[in-house]
Amino acid sequence: MAFPTETVYGLGADATQDHAVAKIYAAKGRPQFNPLIAHVPHAEAAFELGEFSEAAKRLAECFWPGPLTIVVPRRNQCTVSLLASAGLPSLALRVPQHETALDLLRAVGRPIVAPSANPSGRISPTTADHVRQYLQLDMILDGGPCTVGVESTVISFLDDMPTLLRLGGLARAEIEDALSTILAEPRAGPLHAPGQLESHYAPSAKLHLNVAEPAEGEVFLAFGPSQHRYNLSPTGNVVEAAANLFRMLHEIDAKHPKSIAVARIPNVGLGEAINDRLKRAAAPR
Ligand code: TXA
Ligand code: MG
């Protein structure tokens, strides 16, 4: 089943049941080495599943519920399927903010693993309709369009330094402020988050970035004041742009254009996550 969160729609399964988790990988066509996020209704539930340092706890208390995922070592009594951790000794945890997601988590009474509800390598869904177009499911909870519109920021507390594994809906600066420290960059290795695979968020059309004027036959995705039909934010607001990003890429891609030209997005706040997504979407496949 799929359900809304404030970031993107998730494809959910009982995190404690291996076969349910396996079905998620199958539905996604996802490589087995990409671990999943376990969603819980409050921070205390997360603290029972993972080993939280003082700093990790502080971050959880500052930003949960919200678009933040925290990766910590699994506790011995952790009930989440190891398949969800892709065999790793660590676990990604998140308390989402969306009321429908929280209602679901409280009703189920178990952690729910949920990757974004898109086939691997496709644009993440930000409406129930996107999910319906992608996947044949028995149930999709419709909670309206996602307000944040990009996936959660992923921070790991496995090394000495908190590490930024994926840019996302919570800006880097807010996290660094809360922790009073600079976030480390991940080391190269097999634990890399799939958000770090070069071509991951890909529409079918070719993408051209930082375009001032689109070429003949290209669909333009504007940012800031402009006459163009598709505009991430006419007022030049990066938070609004993040919320619109995947939906507009979906809409444009559905028209099967030869290519999509995207305006330059300022690299501040959520603009950093947007540019990260766009760069991957534009990477050669
Ligand atoms: O906003 C979101 O995070 C959405 C909604 C549904 O919550 N979910 C989502 O899940 O984006 P997914 O599976 O598409 O991305 C999960 C990210 C990946 O980058 C994955 O590698 C990372 O979290 N991750 C999960 N477990 C990890 C672990 N144990 N160590 C390192 N990274 C992990
Ligand atoms: Mg995803």
Q: Which residue has the tokens 């199958």?
A: 26
Asked whether the beta carbons of 101 and 49 are under 8 A apart, the reply is no
Indicate which ligand has the atom closest to the C-alpha of 6. Answer: 1
pLDDT, position 36: 94
Q: Is the CB of 263 under 6 A from ligand 1?
A: no
Burial class of residue 38, CB neighbours in 10 A (0-12, 13-18, 19+) = buried
Q: What are 265's two structure tokens?
A: 């997005």
Probe ligand 1: pick from 33, 154, 197, 246, max atoms within 8 Å of CB? 154
Probe ligand 1: pick from 36, 49, 131, 200, max atoms within 8 Å of CB? 36
The dihedral of CA 85, 91, 92, 96: what is its sign?
positive
Q: Is the CB of 8 under 6 A from ligand 1?
A: yes
Indicate which ligand has the atom closest to the C-alpha of 11. Answer: 1
What single-letter DSSP state applies at residue 105?
A: H
Asked whether the beta carbons of 4 and 146 are under 8 A apart, the reply is yes
Residue 3 CA to residue 138 CA, distance in Å, equals: 12
Q: Which residues of 156-178 are buried (b: 16+ CB within 10 A; e: fewer)?
A: bbbeeebbbbbbbbbbbeebeeb
The model's pTM is: 0.84
Give mean pLDDT in consecutive 10-residue pieces for the chain, a chain of 285 residues. Answer: 98 93 79 81 98 98 98 96 85 98 98 95 94 96 97 95 96 97 78 50 87 94 96 93 84 92 93 86 81
Show Cβ contacts of residue 95 under 8 Å, excluding neighbours closer than 6 positions: 39, 40, 41, 42, 43, 45, 46, 60, 64, 65, 66
Q: Which residue has the tokens 């009073």?
A: 180
pLDDT, position 189: 52
Amino acid (1-letter code) at residue 116 = S
Q: What are 30's two structure tokens?
A: 């996802």
pLDDT, position 190: 47
Q: Is the CB of 92 under 6 A from ligand 1?
A: yes
Residue 151 CA to residue 60 CA, distance in Å, equals: 17
Indicate which ligand has the atom closest to the C-alpha of 124. Answer: 2
Q: Is the CB of 140 under 6 A from ligand 1?
A: no
